[in-house]
């Protein structure tokens, strides 16, 4: 079965698309001095690029979590800040397996006890992800299928569960949950990854609902078609869509963090969209509570 093209084409065309970063979202135009961020899955790909972009935006406290060593990423983050003319940030490296409750709990405790973070987290970016090898349901490896849900959904839940108390103490109160364009499609063999990314959008709505009145902003984010190690696990015929840079996603997430954007809370946002155009649609979005959300048509 081919992808269902119409829903995603409507989403794609909601605003002009970019495939690389551009002036409007340049992180050096942001001022995140004094802010703190935690980025999961930060050892490579989009997570690493995002940590670098936040450093270029002047973010003062950058926590990076991954199962892999992070010493080299820490160096890159500090160098990026210096080269952008920003103060060198505090970088906290956390050994983190988002699919493990004990691991996430320990990372949250380390962050809470850090004197630099002081028990407060402005921005949580749930970037860690997994994509199984794609086969029809009866032919797939059950453990491999479930791993996509363990990382993409359980991991997002666990990070929110353990870290939201710190986020709610901040002024920014921002959560960015990575989703995907795949949430809108039905691709042959993609039943685990695409359903988990679909669920991430609905879960983001629950985050907003459960903490209504606190000022919490949560957004489900499509990072673009980036040729990361994860994305290249898709069937080879789909690699042609991987035409976006990690820097586009990273800089767009900095733009989403520059100021509080309650009008996007609980909604799906593509990092490929022109953010100036998206800003111009603010009134339209605010007037339609269902816009950029999954809904059943009856």
Mean pLDDT of successive 10-residue stretches along the chain, which has 298 residues: 61 94 98 98 98 98 97 98 98 98 98 97 98 96 97 98 98 97 91 97 98 97 92 88 95 98 98 98 97 90
In this prediction, residue 22 carries a pLDDT of 98
In this prediction, residue 231 carries a pLDDT of 85
The pTM of the full predicted model, rounded to 2 decimals, is 0.95
Query: What is the separation, in whole angstroms, between the first and last Cα of the chain?
Result: 24
CATH superfamily of 5-285: NAD(P)-binding Rossmann-like Domain (3.40.50.720)
Q: How far apart are CA 232 and CA 252, in angstroms?
A: 22
In this prediction, residue 297 carries a pLDDT of 77
In this prediction, residue 9 carries a pLDDT of 81
Residue spans per domain, the chain: 5-285
In this prediction, residue 274 carries a pLDDT of 98
Asked whether 231 and 251 are in contact (CB, 8 A), the reply is: no
Asked whether 62 and 77 are in contact (CB, 8 A), the reply is: yes
What would the 3-class secondary structure string for the chain be? CCCCHHHHHHHHCCCCECCCCCHHHCHHHCCCCCCEEEEECCCCHHHHHHHHHHHHCCCCEEEEEECCCCHHHHHHHHHHHHHCCCCCCEEEEEECCCCCHHHHHHHHHHHHHCCCCCCCCCEEEECCCCCCCCCCHHHCCHHHHHHHHHHHHHHHHHHHHHHHHHHCCCCCCEEEEECCHHHHCCCCCCCCHHHHHHHHHHHHHHHHHHCCCCCCEEEEEECCCCCCCCHHHCCHHHHHHCCCCHHHHHHHHHHHHCCCCHHHCCCEEECCECHHHHHHCHHHHHHCCCCCCCCCCC
In this prediction, residue 45 carries a pLDDT of 97
In this prediction, residue 82 carries a pLDDT of 98
């Amino acid at each position: 079965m081919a992808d269902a093209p119409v829903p995603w084409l409507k989403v794609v065309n909601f605003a002009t698309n970019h495939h690389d970063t551009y002036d409007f979202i340049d992180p050096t135009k942001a001022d995140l001095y004094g802010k703190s961020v935690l980025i999961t899955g930060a050892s490579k790909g989009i997570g690493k690029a995002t940590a670098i972009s936040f450093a270029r935006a002047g973010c003062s406290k950058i926590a990076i979590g991954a199962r892999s060593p992070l010493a080299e990423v820490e160096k890159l983050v500090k160098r990026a800040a210096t080269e952008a003319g920003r103060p060198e940030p505090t970088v906290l490296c956390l050994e983190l397996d988002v699919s493990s409750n004990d691991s996430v709990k320990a990372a949250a405790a380390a962050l809470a006890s850090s004197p630099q973070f002081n028990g407060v987290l402005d921005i949580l970016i749930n970037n860690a992800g997994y994509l199984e090898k794609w086969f029809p349901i009866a032919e797939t490896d059950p453990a491999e299928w479930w791993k996509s849900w363990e990382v993409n959904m359980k991991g997002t839940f666990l990070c929110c569960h353990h870290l939201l108390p710190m986020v709610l103490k901040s002024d920014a109160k921002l959560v960015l949950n990575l989703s995907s364009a795949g949430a809108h499609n039905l691709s042959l063999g993609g039943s685990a990854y695409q359903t988990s990314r679909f669920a991430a959008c609905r879960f983001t709505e629950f985050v907003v609902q459960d903490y209504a009145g606190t000022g919490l902003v949560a957004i489900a984010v499509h990072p673009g078609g980036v040729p990361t190690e994860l994305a290249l696990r898709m069937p080879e015929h789909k690699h042609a869509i991987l035409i976006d840079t990690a820097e586009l996603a990273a800089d767009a997430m900095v733009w989403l963090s520059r100021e509080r954007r309650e009008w996007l809370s609980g909604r799906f946002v593509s990092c490929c969209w022109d953010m100036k155009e998206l800003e111009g649609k603010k009134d339209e979005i605010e007037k339609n509570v269902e816009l950029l959300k999954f809904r059943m048509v009856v």
